Amino acid sequence: MPRLEPDLFREFTPLLGEGGFIPMLNHAVLPDISRDNWRHYIHCRRALLAGHTV
């Protein structure tokens, strides 16, 4: 399992608590993104939305 990014949680956790923030990519994914990088993003986003911390 990839290491979760501490900065991701530090920056986005308060925004999720305030509401109105949806962590998703809006057509910003490059077509040549590696499968590993995409899976890392999905893993971090799921952990963030589940309220996990590092």
| Residue 37 falls inside a structural domain | yes
| Residue 10 falls inside a structural domain | yes
Full residue range of the structural domain in which residue 15 is found: 1-20+30-54
The 10s digit of each residue's pLDDT in 9-52 is: 788 888 888 887 887 877 778 889 899 988 888 888 888 888 87
Domain count within the chain: 1
Q: How far is CA 21 from the centre of its chain?
A: 12
Between CA 10 and CA 12 the distance in angstroms is 6
Residues 41 and 50: beta-carbon distance below 8 Å: no
| Residue 3 falls inside a structural domain | yes
| Residue 25 falls inside a structural domain | no
Copy the structure tokens of residue 2: 């990839």
| Residue 52 falls inside a structural domain | yes
The confidence score (pLDDT) of residue 53 equals 62
Between CA 35 and CA 47 the distance in angstroms is 18
Tokens 């910003």 belong to residue:
28
Between CA 34 and CA 53 the distance in angstroms is 25
